[in-house]
Amino acid sequence: MGRLLGLEPFKINLAVIAAFLTLVGYSVNDTIVVFDRIREVRGRNQKITWELINSAVNQTLSRTILTSFTTWLVSLILYAVGGAAIHGMAFCLVVGVVVGTYSSIYIASPMLIWFHSREAPARPPAAPRSDGAVARGPSPKPNGRRQSPRTSAPELPSAGRQGSSDASGP
- Distances in Å between the Cα of 145 and the Cα atoms of 37, 81, 133, 137 are 47, 74, 16, 12
pLDDT tens-digit series, residues 75-90: 999 999 988 888 889 9
Count the Cβ atoms, other than its own, within 10 Å of residue 22. 18
Rounded to the nearest integer, the mean pLDDT of the chain is 78
Query: What is the predicted pLDDT for the residue at 157?
Result: 55
pLDDT tens-digit series, residues 8-20: 677 788 988 999 9
Helix axes 50-81, 14-42, angle to 10 degrees: 160
